[in-house]
Structure 1
């Protein structure tokens, strides 16, 4: 497919109702990682029975290679480029007013999507989402010839995982980070920690046209609960939950704890009223 006028090969996974159909749910992974973070959600029958769940690897991430000529450039994510990518993917997949859910950088960009493309969306859900974060460490260490890029990326995000997370979920999340391409995490954080300040756009979000729900784990010094609450306070009608015993990667570190918060948000946004299978 063409993205910004250049040919790309983009890797997509999806799971949904038997026989097709379902409400489209487009899933955005975190900075420096890939769509494997959504593995537990893609295997959850309570969600896939009703939603067409679609996770794609952003270009330069996971199984989506960079475009030809990448060796001559530096990867750098911007607000306009990220929003454009999501809408390009939605059109290419023929999605009719999808719900878009993202985490971290994905939890940030859904705010721009709600401000700029409300009519094309059914709603947005931000996990660990806030309008701005800023830099809180020297980002140059993420791409330095004297430092193992993958291991330092894993080390830096390890403190963002809740101490209550199961060991398997914690280490799978970190493994994804340790496999990232050189400079990719740094390039994503250009958007997250430098360029992507969405605070001026919050007043433009109309939740009667595009509902907004923000779900944030309490163990997170990157997107702090206070940051999410301040963001939600600036968006009339936005819904917020601060989730106990969860950190910055709720869908991959501990999906079982995320699910009770996520299911009601999905049901409300989709206008579904029948209790999900297996719900308490």
Structure 2
């Protein structure tokens, strides 16, 4: 029996509906190995590569470079040499019929929603199987819940997941005055409280790591695991210029220059990512909130938060994930990492491993969640 496999527009992110083919990394007739990068696709957030799900030959390119198509659309066909042209034609037609009937696309995609909390609201996106235990995603400074577009769908295949816009970010209300970090923690806890009656598996990036550590310190018995991606709070070193420049950037070109520092490969950044960040930064109260949050992260002498003692006192599994080319928060020294914490370093990756090395990060998150003490 002939092997025929589809190469389709993937669903990266719970709300993604389409993608643009920017580059085929192999031509028709080329040999393909399972796991090989074969196709570059641009979403509204970032450009990423698609890996082949099977080995064979790229027998047909259906969608050419420059084409925008809905999630699930057939982009190409991988098949073995025994597959006839007639079989491949029939396979392609079956995909066209299926898309025409509306079987794929945005129907049934979860939508973000706003939850009222004291002093405002928190925007969140839920996805996954019903259950008491929840994976909670907390993004970093200047980000939003779409930071997890390559991670939440993968985790949602097995568990309930919630990604939030931290207060002062995305579509959540800005915060002001007093202890900003404590206010953010309280708002997140209030928003997810009714939605997460069981254990919470915290997955947090950068500034979100300080939020996660504070949540774990306040309710250690509720935390099932802690996966921190380049978190602040483990050393004094940090590129404070990133914070200052991000807050100050009011136009596209300077903001692009700031965002490029997040990635080892700056070409992953899309125009929509820059424009979306600019729109968010122009919302009422957001510049002030970002400035206040930046001041809680670092000053001219380095980082101000410290999470090492909190992590050392937790009994749940804890994993750190760090890109070795991180230009924002450098990989901490061994003596700055508590003994009960595992660290995974990823080569060729910057401050955004969850986007630049999503498969490795998802594997690390799953492994940490599934640990038993």
TM-score, length basis structure 1: 0.74
Match of 2:281 in 1: 181
The correspondence of residues 1-40 of structure 1 with structure 2, limited to 5 A, is 3=117, 5-6=118-119, 8-17=120-129, 20-21=130-131, 23-40=133-150
Q: Give the Cα separation in 1 of the matches to 2:258 and 2:147.
A: 17
Equivalent-residue separation in structure 2 for 1:10 and 1:218 (angstroms):
33
* 1:63 counterpart residue number: 171
Question: What SS is found at the alignment partner of 1:10?
Answer: strand
Distance 2:367 2:254 in 1: 36
- 3-state DSSP of counterpart to 1:241: strand
Where do 5+ consecutive residues of structure 2 fail to align? 1-114
Picking from 82, 89, 107, the partner of 2:184 is 82
Correspondence 1:157-168 to 2 at 5 A: 157-163=259-265, 167=267
Q: What displacement does 1:117 show?
A: 2.4
Q: Give the one of 188, 192, 196 matched to 2:297.
A: 192
Contact 2:140 2:204 survives alignment (8 Å): yes
Q: 1:61 to 1:138 in 2, by over 3 A?
A: closer
Which structure: larger Rg? 2
Moved over 6 A (4+): none
- Paired residue for 1:49? 157
RMSD (CA atoms): 3.2
5+ residue gaps, structure 1: 68-73, 273-280
Change (3 A) 1:66 1:203: closer
| 1:134 to partner: Cα distance | 4.9
Deviates more, 1:135-144 or 1:107-116: 135-144
CA distance in structure 1 between the aligned counterparts of 2:326 and 2:365, rounded to whole angstroms? 18
Q: Do the aligned residues in 1 keep the contact of 2:137 with 2:164 (CA within 8 Å)?
A: yes
| Match among 327, 334, 337 for residue 221 of structure 1 | 327
Bigger relative contact order (CA 8 A; separation at least 6): 1
The CA deviation at 1:102 is: 0.9
Residue in structure 2 matched with residue 71 of structure 1 by the alignment: none
More helix per residue: 1
Q: Per-residue deviation at 1:210? A: 3.0
Q: Which has the higher strand share?
A: 2
